[in-house]
Each structure stands twice: as C-alpha cells, then as structure tokens.
Structure 1
Amino acid sequence: MNDATPKRLFLTGGGGMVGRNVQAHPAASEWDIHAPTRAELDLTHPQAVATYIADLQPDVIIHAAGRVGGIHANMANPVAFLDDNTLMGRNVIMGARQAGVRKLINLGSTCMYPREAENPLREEMILTAPLEPTNEGYALAKILAMRLCQYIRQEDPDALYKTLIPCNLYGLYDSFDPQRSHLLPAIIHKVHQARETGDQTVEIWGDGTARREFMFAGDLADAIWNAVRDIDEIPDLMNIGLGHDYSINDYYSAVAQVIGWQGDFDHDLSKPTGMKQKLCSVARQTDWGWSAPTTLRDGIEQTYKHYLEISGS
C-alpha cells in the first residue's frame, strides 16, 4: 500500500476472538482501524449504524460481530439469537450500501449448512435442506446476511460484498471458562488442571472418535487480510478451513504432549459422542491460492502460552 495516509477500515466485533486476531495481524498496521465497542455503537440500531458508516466513510468493512453462545444459550434464547444477529448483519450491510462503501467482508458460520449435509461441506449446499434445530435462529440470521450480500452484488456487480465461512476456531483471545469454552480451550484447561493437581486420568465424553476441524484463529485473520487485498478475486461465498480434520482423541493427545501431561484418558461412554464429522470443503479456497499456515501443534503451543499468561499460571 503506497498511500501516505492509511486506508480506513470499519471492523465490527473488534473485542471478540476473531476481531482481536484481525487487529493483532501484521497487516493491521497498514490500516486506520475503527472498531467501536458495543457501548460506543449498538449494531442493532439501524440509524446509529448508518450514521456511523456514513460519517466514517471506510474503504473496507469487516463484519465479524455477532451474538454467540453454546447449544444451551441458543436453545434458551432463540428469539434473541435470530433477532440480534439479523439486525446486526442487515444494519451493517445496508448501512454500507447506503453510504456507498464498495468493499465488505461478511463472516458466516458453518451452522449455515444443513444438519444432514454430506462432508466435506460445499458452499452450494447451503439452503438445500433443514438446519440443525439447536442453533437454527443464529444460522438463519447468518444466511440472511450472506443472501443480502449476494442480492446487492446481483443488482450492483461493482459492490464487492463477499462472505467467508470459517470452520471451527481456537487460539489467542479464546474463552477458557469451562462453562462457555469450545472444544480446544476446554481441553487445554482440563489437561492443565490435571497436570497441576497430579491427576492421572482425564475424562473424554464418548469414545473420542468424532472428527472436528479446528483452525488457529490467527490463520483466519491471515485469510481475512488476504481477502481484503484480493477482494476482487475471491468468490462471493467461500469456506475458510484446513481441508482436513482430527478426532477428539487426537486433540486430547496433542494437548497432552504440548502441556507435558502423561496420564491416561478415560472415555465415558454414557455421554454423547456428537456428530461424527463436520469438515469444510476448501476447493474454492485452494483455487484462490491460500492455505492455513499454522500446524496443530504450533497452534496449541501458542494458545497454551496465552492461557498461562491470562490465568497467571
């Protein structure tokens, strides 16, 4: 970038894991990034968002904000998950259109795929079958935002409004709270506690054979910045992932090796194993020429170091 003045970027969800990794990426230093907090800008208020974007006149928008939660939160609050996420996506995308912003990266979710979709999950499968009921509201809101971007491009091909669908994520700025954390940070916390207390066994729900695709969040940030640079070239809709997965047992073993815990795993077969697989197709991503650079071990090592820093261990 040769301009003396950095280009202006509006980032929603700047306080979340994805948003913080986007801002920590080396490419961020080349941009004038505006990432207002929820207190500074309520994304569910259409006029406030429209005014903010019109006043800021960003060169690019990255929409990474959302109301997120686990299965229990989604099931207990389906109205809020549908309504809040619909409003956020609609307000940011339409605010961008009204302000004449030509470049926007919208982040979707793999929950947009049908519940019974065949693996690997290909982008054209979206809207071909029923969704997973436990997070349907969130998924519908994400699909609406994706469709809105596509419709805007249908009416105005010069509006580069593109949607990226990341696979599962872990990494720096993740939540390690056992009540809220996802798989890998939960494993890190559990195995670390076992090492600290001298426990010789760690429990795994089910038989551990279910397979999951988890990408280091710093790699998603790298993909996002590359997409910003190549926004003319990327497809309107594209998965961002590894293209391969690991079993739950593999993740536990990898974390144990990094942490240095040498106990045994105890499988509680009375607990559910979960979906057998959830793997994204990376055919479009491969054609674009990008792949995730961080190995599983390196990603876990960086995440564990971050865990120790924030926990004071």
Structure 2
Amino acid sequence: MSDTMQKNSKIFIAGHTGLLGSVLVKKLESDGYKNIITRPHEELDLTNQNAVAAFFQRERPEYVFLAAGRVGGIMANKTSPATFLHTNIAIQDNVFESATKTQVRYLVFYGSSCMYPKHCPQPIKEEYLMTGEIEDTSEGYAIAKTAGILACKTYNNQYKNNRFIALIPNSMYGPNDHFDLENSHVLSALIRKFHDAKTQGGKKVVLWGTGTPRREFIFSEDVADASIFAMKNTGKFMNMHYNIGSGVDYSIKELAEIISDIVGFKGEIEWDTTKPDGTPRKLLDSSRFLNFGWTPTTDIVKGIKTTYKWYVNNIQAGMH
C-alpha cells in the first residue's frame, strides 16, 4: 500500500471547527478525500488520555492533522498562562502517544512563531529555536509548543521513522478565527475594532503600542495547502521543524491602515504608547519549505477582504 495519502485514506482532523481545521476539511473534501474523521470537543476531549487512546484504537486513522489547541492573543496569554501550557501539552502528549501506539502513518503538528527568541536575527531560521529568551507575554503557550516540536523529533528518533512532521506557520488569519477582543490575535482584533467603530459611528480607534512592530501574516488557506502538500511529500522531510510564512512583513501601523481601508472606517487612528508592543519583529525564513516546491498564493489585501466578508456574514449576522 502506498505511503501517500489516498482518496480513501482515513484522515483525522483534530480541531476541525477552528481557523485551520475548518479550511483543512474544506480543502481535503474539495480534493476528493472521502474518509475524513472529525469529532467535536463534546464527543472527544483531547486532553483526556483514556478518551484519546480509545478513539485511536477504535478509528485507526492513517493520517492526522493536529490543528487542535488553545490559542489567544497577548491578553489571554497573560491572564491564563497555566491553562495554555496545560491544555496544549495534554493534547499533544495524548495524540502523539496514541498515534505511535496505533501506528498512524503521518501526523502534521503545528508550532507557533512565538516559540522563537524575542530578539531573534531576522528573518528567523529554524535553527534559532531555543537560542534565547522568549517573549514573556506568551511564555506558557510558547513552551507547550516547543515541547510539541521537541516531541516530534524525539518520537521520530526513538521509533526510527519520520512519522511526525512539524510545521511552524507565522501569524495565521482567515475565516473562523476568534474575533473577540480578549482572545483574538492582532489582525482579527483590528478587523473587529474598525468594524465596531464604523458601525457605531466612532471618530477614532485607539490601538495598543507604537504601531512599529513588524509581523508576517499567512492566510489559513495557504497553511492548509502547505499541510496537505507536506502529507503528499512526506519523503522529502528531514527530522526537523519547518517554517511556513508568506515572506512579507508589515508594521502594525501599515496593517491597521490596510484593515481600516478594507472595512471602510473613515476616522483617525490613535496609538496608546503606554501599552506593550510585544516582540519587535517576527519574519520567518521559510526557504527550506519553499524549496520543496510549495508557494503561498494569497496576498494580504485579498486575504483580509475574504476574512472581513466572512466576519460580516457570520459574526455580525449573529452566528457566534
């Protein structure tokens, strides 16, 4: 039997309702994959070891995309670091162990760019991981994700296979993201702020920090595309993690201007410089992954337009 994902292969997508999981389901289905397994959190709590073990024994998925986890912006990370640490480590630990015991063929795991040191040479190469202090606002989450990347490597070493593929996408955005101001990342929070100001007739929007930090964003469909590409090209990967980015970064000020323009907010933007900026810059060097022959296709304006349209149709229409 072939090692590559077949149209009838059993594929488990953990976190299928989230930002990345939802688009993975959509893409795989449109590519003709017929045997996709998903479970809502109410039916399968991935932090519960026995439940995960029973699920893997029963379903025996051949390919796994581990897109489940607890994510949030600066505020959420600062207020509940233990929850971020525990939840993500528990999910990874349970899924990796069960995937090994039931001999899953391949599993794609996602790290996060916040794992890299706060003051990192730019663009960030894979080997810079664990070479310096990380941003303290996302410490719990970053350490959990680092443990996941390390787990991929150690399982592959110990069991003499490259079952675990570790990808590190930069700041991801798109439909099905969180848009509440407490838990969302910068891009979706800005969409929400500008939309609220526009609809409520606000004259100005106050944003955190100086607007100078630079961030690289990647559209969720591009990450899903890269993930499926990885599953189809498993033989190319070494036992290491791979960065996935768009290759372009924007200052938060530039991002705010792009979003206010797309949303149609006509007021002014004010910067509250008493608030933290976070890491000064996060641009990934994705050349290793790009050299396999994959390229992202969505530029930021197109991606934000798609995301904003989804936001207006879904969140504003009262679905969430």
TM superposition score normalised by structure 2: 0.89
CA distance in 2, matches of 1:268, 1:137: 26
How far is the alpha carbon of 1:4 from its aligned partner?
8.9
Is this contact kept in 2: 1:102–1:159, CA < 8 A?
no
Q: Partner residue of 1:218?
A: 221
* 140, 145, 149: which one aligns with 1:146: 149
Is this contact kept in 2: 1:258–1:301, CA < 8 A?
yes
Q: Partner residue of 2:278?
A: 274
CA distance in 2, matches of 1:48, 1:179: 30
SS of alignment partner, residue 7 of structure 1: coil
1:4-153 pair list within 5 angstroms: 6-25=8-27, 27=30, 29-153=32-156
How far is the alpha carbon of 1:271 from its aligned partner?
3.3
Is this contact kept in 1: 2:85–2:140, CA < 8 A?
yes
Residues 245-272 of structure 1 show CA distances to partners (whole Å, capped at 9, x for unaligned) of: 0011211121122223333322333433
1:299-310 pair list within 5 angstroms: 299-310=303-314
SS of alignment partner, residue 212 of structure 1: strand
How far is the alpha carbon of 1:40 from its aligned partner?
1.1
Q: Partner residue of 2:301?
A: 297
How far is the alpha carbon of 1:212 from its aligned partner?
0.9
SS of alignment partner, residue 140 of structure 1: helix
Q: Partner residue of 1:190?
A: 193
Indicate how the Cα distance of structure 1 residues 204 and 54 shifts in structure 2: closer, same or farther if over 3 A, else same. same
CA distance in 2, matches of 1:72, 1:249: 19
What's the % identity of the aligned pairs?
35
How far is the alpha carbon of 1:244 from its aligned partner?
1.7
Is this contact kept in 2: 1:22–1:28, CA < 8 A?
no
How far is the alpha carbon of 1:237 from its aligned partner?
1.1
How far is the alpha carbon of 1:140 from its aligned partner?
2.0
Indicate how the Cα distance of structure 1 residues 232 and 126 shifts in structure 2: closer, same or farther if over 3 A, else same. same
Residues 177-198 of structure 1 show CA distances to partners (whole Å, capped at 9, x for unaligned) of: 2232221122112222232233
SS of alignment partner, residue 178 of structure 1: coil
Is this contact kept in 2: 1:234–1:288, CA < 8 A?
no
Is this contact kept in 1: 2:137–2:278, CA < 8 A?
no
Q: Does 1:209 align with 2:200?
A: no
Q: CA RMSD in A?
A: 2.3
How far is the alpha carbon of 1:123 from its aligned partner?
1.0
Is this contact kept in 2: 1:208–1:249, CA < 8 A?
yes
Q: Partner residue of 2:268?
A: 264
Query: Could you list the runs of 5+ residues in structure 1 that have no partner in the other structure?
Result: none
Residues 182-238 of structure 1 show CA distances to partners (whole Å, capped at 9, x for unaligned) of: 211221122222322333433233332221111111111111111111122234310
One-letter amino acid matched to 2:290: T
Query: Could you list the runs of 5+ residues in structure 2 that have no partner in the other structure?
Result: none
Residues 131-165 of structure 1 show CA distances to partners (whole Å, capped at 9, x for unaligned) of: 33332222222222222211222233434211001
How far is the alpha carbon of 1:120 from its aligned partner?
1.6
How far is the alpha carbon of 1:3 from its aligned partner?
9.7
One-letter amino acid matched to 1:284: R
Indicate how the Cα distance of structure 1 residues 256 and 70 shifts in structure 2: closer, same or farther if over 3 A, else same. closer
Indicate how the Cα distance of structure 1 residues 243 and 147 shifts in structure 2: closer, same or farther if over 3 A, else same. same
One-letter amino acid matched to 1:296: I
One-letter amino acid matched to 1:262: K
Is this contact kept in 1: 2:60–2:104, CA < 8 A?
yes
How far is the alpha carbon of 1:61 from its aligned partner?
0.8
CA distance in 2, matches of 1:117, 1:98: 37
Q: Partner residue of 2:184?
A: 181
Indicate how the Cα distance of structure 1 residues 199 and 274 shifts in structure 2: closer, same or farther if over 3 A, else same. same
Is this contact kept in 1: 2:173–2:188, CA < 8 A?
yes
CA distance in 2, matches of 1:78, 1:197: 34
How far is the alpha carbon of 1:302 from its aligned partner?
0.4
